[in-house]
Amino acid sequence: QVQLVESGGGLVQPGGSLRLSCAASGFTFSNYPMTWVRQAPGKGLEWVSDISSGGDNTYYTDSVKGRFTISRDNAKNTLYLQMNSLKPEDTALYYCAKFLYENSKGRGWCMDNWGKGTLVTVSS
């Protein structure tokens, strides 16, 4: 069955960096676009970033553009999120998810599998 396991979260000071990983198994990883979403304490889910199946197309929410980089290693079945210049408002539980479909521009839709999340806390 599909498994998505996030790792790499932790406590970091403002301005610091973290790299999140999402290990995927149970499906042909290279065939599917992927996404990161987050949920801050007491708030709803927020989309963070998407990447196409081949890794050529990436998309970001405005609040993380220029600070976060999504990438994937299809040989290792792993999705990444490099987070730099972290801010307290980036504090959240970060989830990776798999899309079921992909359009011609590499945008995915219909998330059908999620990981359990990894907690990122940005605080001094």
Q: What is the pLDDT of residues 52-91, one digit of tens each?
A: 999 999 999 999 999 999 999 999 999 999 999 999 999 9
Share of the chain above pLDDT 70, in %: 100
Q: What is the pLDDT of residues 29-45, one digit of tens each?
A: 999 999 999 999 999 99
pLDDT of residue 55: 94
Q: Categorize the per-residue pLDDT at 105 as very low, low, confident or very high, splitting at 50, 70 and 90.
A: confident
Cβ-count burial 102-123 (b if 16+ within 10 Å, e if not): beeebebeebebebebbebbbe
Q: Which two tokens stand for residue 96?
A: 């990776």
Would you say residue 106 has pLDDT above 90? no
Backbone angles phi, psi at 84, to 5 degrees: -115, 165
Share of the chain above pLDDT 90, in %: 94
Report the mean per-residue pLDDT for the chain. 96
Mean pLDDT along residues 11-36? 97
pLDDT of residue 51: 97
